[in-house]
Structure 1
């Protein structure tokens, strides 16, 4: 039994090595950038196969199944995820697993996207003819239109590159970048054709920042009920200050007997008042409140409240319904805790 030889120690990373690393890094970026420019030029020169691919996806009554082997498989997973998150039901199926039972996941109503730079991946070619016999449509994304996969496909997307960025021209680098970019181009064209908008994206990303921004309403984060600081117009200033302290929002609303908003008084108002008034005992809150304050309705998006606070440089906002009845209150900290900001 042979004994594995110990690896030789790595070469010292000297100044020459650093320069070579920098040169190769820049060459890699340039080669891959040129590959993408070449893709764009082919489309500009009249290759409208991506339009045909978009039409297939728009007319798909099932799901889009994306598949590839090796590095192309990793690209296929990402393309499937991008399609799924932008309004096109999609999933990844491993071609080897498909040949051993997972073909049952594919129906005649689906569109199958097969990714292979050579267009000759045996795992894909073993299932491609079966998929066509099922009645599913086949989109091939390869670097060779005359390949077995390219000729089998209903639509061929040409992702040919002149060379890989790998110095040995072996490791998939520029070719996988081209395939990924083509997948993104396809997904973007489809989402636009579907009329997919920010609100749709948010619904499929409820845990992300955009989801919180577009799905969180004022009513979801406002303080309500007994937590709202509010006093009547005939309340003394000192009693109103107690309400401000008790509710911890650095302000209080002033309402009429029906609960309609009449005004607001904040800590900032108090500081400014102290500069001019020595005796507070004879003042009612109605004497010093800001009448007709800015309010927001509970069904509005929380980001609208953020925008109002930023525009008017305020930290609190009263929430009132269409009749002007006080139903809640917002502090900027509430929006921060909800991660709307």
Structure 2
């Protein structure tokens, strides 16, 4: 639908202009939130770091959706956490909370009935309470051990009714908590990968060369005395488009590839009379089996090759892999 048509049916502003206004309002409110951070934020971080249980995030309506995301972010970055719906909490789910836990309650008004119903019970259990609200004088903020101010001067909604800037501010504050906790715990990319084994990041950070390489009889290799014909047969049988040339100790001396064969033809070499020593490339590219598979991708892309030899710490050939192997493993 054209802008003029939208305006005819009551849209006061052009869509792109209104969208820009929404984004600018929300970005300004998040920036203002950053300037308001104070010692309460440090106290919240200290409470969570000292927590011997889990972080339980709760909130109603849109705040609940934000809480769900915050709980997921905390859990994936080293802070055991889950979301508890406050209405369900009144019907048995409060049993999820122990005195060792920290509860993060989110409410823009700080007066959500479902939250206020369970706050006294949370306090009675001995769990600590952190609130994220937009009202410093609310019942929820006054009942909290730590209160985080997430108020906004205006919502991005033109009617001023739909939670927009306020939910963005709460979400950004939750992200800030998660990232600071990650940093304080010394949480590493390896730790992150271990909690995301099924995703692309997990594959990039957990899959090792030895997990995807070809080994044993599947590794193409010939001796330095072999003929070019022998090398071609080995390449054809193993299907890697290359073969290693090894010494008596099975250490790579060179490599012979499809590209080397083409270059030999172009230079006029009589491949029926020469040995592989005459056409191989010295100092082949190698990688260790315990290196990340993504390191193999980086080497291949940087050196513009499609296959690598895998050697152990003693320099003995133990495997080989090509880009197709990495594609199958979904590392690329």
TM-score (norm 2): 0.94
Structure 2 partner of 1:174: 165
- In the aligned structure 1, how far is the partner of 2:90 from the partner of 2:68? 18
**Do structure 1's residue 75 and structure 2's residue 66 form an aligned pair?**
yes
- In the aligned structure 2, how far is the partner of 1:25 from the partner of 1:282? 73
- Structure 1 residue 173, shift from structure 2 partner: 1.1
SS of corresponding position for 1:164? coil
The correspondence of residues 1-341 of structure 1 with structure 2, limited to 5 A, is 13-14=6-7, 17=11, 19-43=13-37, 47-341=38-332
- In the aligned structure 1, how far is the partner of 2:219 from the partner of 2:12? 63
Structure 2 partner of 1:6: none
SS of corresponding position for 1:17? coil
- In the aligned structure 2, how far is the partner of 1:26 from the partner of 1:302? 42
- In the aligned structure 1, how far is the partner of 2:302 from the partner of 2:157? 52
- In the aligned structure 2, how far is the partner of 1:88 from the partner of 1:261? 47
SS of corresponding position for 1:265? strand
- Structure 1 residue 288, shift from structure 2 partner: 2.2
SS of corresponding position for 2:319? strand
- In the aligned structure 1, how far is the partner of 2:166 from the partner of 2:79? 25
- In the aligned structure 1, how far is the partner of 2:241 from the partner of 2:159? 67
- In the aligned structure 2, how far is the partner of 1:278 from the partner of 1:68? 76
Long gaps (5+) in structure 1: 1-10
- Structure 1 residue 247, shift from structure 2 partner: 1.4
- Structure 1 residue 291, shift from structure 2 partner: 2.7
C-alpha RMSD of the superposition: 1.7
- Structure 1 residue 12, shift from structure 2 partner: 5.2
- In the aligned structure 2, how far is the partner of 1:81 from the partner of 1:162? 28
SS of corresponding position for 2:11? helix
Runs of 4+ in 1 over 4 A off after TM superposition: none
- In the aligned structure 2, how far is the partner of 1:151 from the partner of 1:18? 41
- In the aligned structure 1, how far is the partner of 2:134 from the partner of 2:106? 9
Report the number of matched residues: 328
- Structure 1 residue 281, shift from structure 2 partner: 2.5
- In the aligned structure 1, how far is the partner of 2:51 from the partner of 2:293? 36
> Retained in 1: the 8 A contact 2:264–2:271?
no
SS of corresponding position for 1:13? helix
- Structure 1 residue 27, shift from structure 2 partner: 2.4
- Structure 1 residue 37, shift from structure 2 partner: 1.8
- In the aligned structure 1, how far is the partner of 2:80 from the partner of 2:19? 37
- In the aligned structure 2, how far is the partner of 1:29 from the partner of 1:96? 32
1:152-204 per-residue CA deviation (whole Å, 9 max, x = no partner) reads 10000000111222222111111111111111111111111111121111111
